[in-house]
């Protein structure tokens, strides 16, 4: 039995040594030497120490690589500052007249979001932008028969305003966020260390009502940086 124990221990030590940190304190058995309880225990203790050290190293590597469990711990309760910008290019067809037009909208802003530990959000939101028509269809008559026409320009600012609610769910490296007062989720890609979030979207959308139809193409980019640690 002692020979079997020592043979298995030798194989395990060689495997552990090949995989990670060096095993110290191990005494290889000599041919014809009787095994003692103290000697076997010392070798087991050396192996246990090496295994524990390897476990700590592996845990540190997994944490640095961003395993689902470590990312969840980094995001839950933490605050991210997200800066974003985007543009919309669209056309408009009036339902009550032959009028058709085209417009361009640019926007950008910042959100400071805390991903609460209960799966909800707290968001401080602010956005501004400008929309402009391509046609010069806003005209003012100066001298009789003379008109000064200009592009329609509309500036807007929303916030700052704080919202609570919504939800967030982490699946692998994808963070699905449903913002307060929104129905659809946005999917952020999370960096392996949990420090950066990235959202990129682009698509077409058509909306119609009794007044006309808007046909838009919009694209946007949002980048978030973790700015506070989860509360202890």
Structural domain count of the chain: 2
56 and 95 in one domain?
no
What does the angle CA 59 – CA 60 – CA 65 come to, to the nearest 5 degrees? 95
Q: Which of 13, 36, 65 is the last residue of a domain?
A: 65
State the residue range of the domain holding 41: 2-65
Per the model's pLDDT, the better-predicted residue between 142 and 217 turns out to be 217
Whether residue 39 is found in the same domain as residue 150: no
| pTM recorded for the entire structure | 0.65
User: What is the per-residue pLDDT across 31-82, written as a single tens digit (0 to 9) for each?
Assistant: 667 667 776 677 667 778 778 877 777 666 555 554 556 899 999 999 999 9
Residues 170 and 144 in one domain: yes
Residues 97 and 147 in one domain: yes
- Is there a single domain that holds both residue 54 and residue 138? no
Band the pLDDT of 113: cuts 50, 70, 90: very high
Q: Are residues 6 and 35 in the same domain?
A: yes
pLDDT of residue 40: 67
Same domain? 112 vs 202: yes
């Amino acid at each position: 039995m002692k020979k079997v124990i020592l043979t298995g221990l030798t194989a395990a030590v060689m495997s552990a040594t090949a995989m990670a940190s060096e095993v110290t304190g191990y005494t290889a058995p000599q041919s014809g030497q009787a095994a003692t309880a103290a000697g076997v225990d010392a070798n087991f203790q050396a192996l246990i120490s090496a295994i524990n050290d390897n476990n700590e190293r592996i845990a540190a590597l997994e944490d640095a690589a961003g395993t689902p469990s470590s990312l969840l711990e980094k995001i839950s309760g933490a605050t991210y500052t997200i800066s974003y910008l985007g543009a919309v290019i669209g056309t408009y067809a009036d339902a009550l007249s032959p009028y058709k037009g085209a417009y361009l909208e640019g926007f950008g802003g910042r959100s400071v979001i805390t991903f609460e530990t209960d799966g909800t959000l707290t968001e401080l939101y602010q956005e501004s932008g400008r929309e402009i028509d391509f046609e010069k269809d806003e005209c003012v008559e100066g001298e009789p028969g003379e008109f000064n026409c200009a592009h329609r320009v509309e500036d807007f600012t929303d916030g700052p305003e704080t919202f609570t609610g919504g939800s967030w769910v982490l699946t692998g490296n994808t963070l699905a966020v449903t913002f307060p007062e929104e129905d659809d989720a946005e999917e952020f890609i999370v960096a392996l260390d949990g420090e950066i979030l990235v959202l990129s979207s682009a698509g077409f959308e058509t909306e119609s009502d009794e007044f006309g139809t808007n046909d838009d193409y919009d694209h946007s980019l949002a980048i978030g940086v973790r700015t506070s640690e989860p509360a202890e």
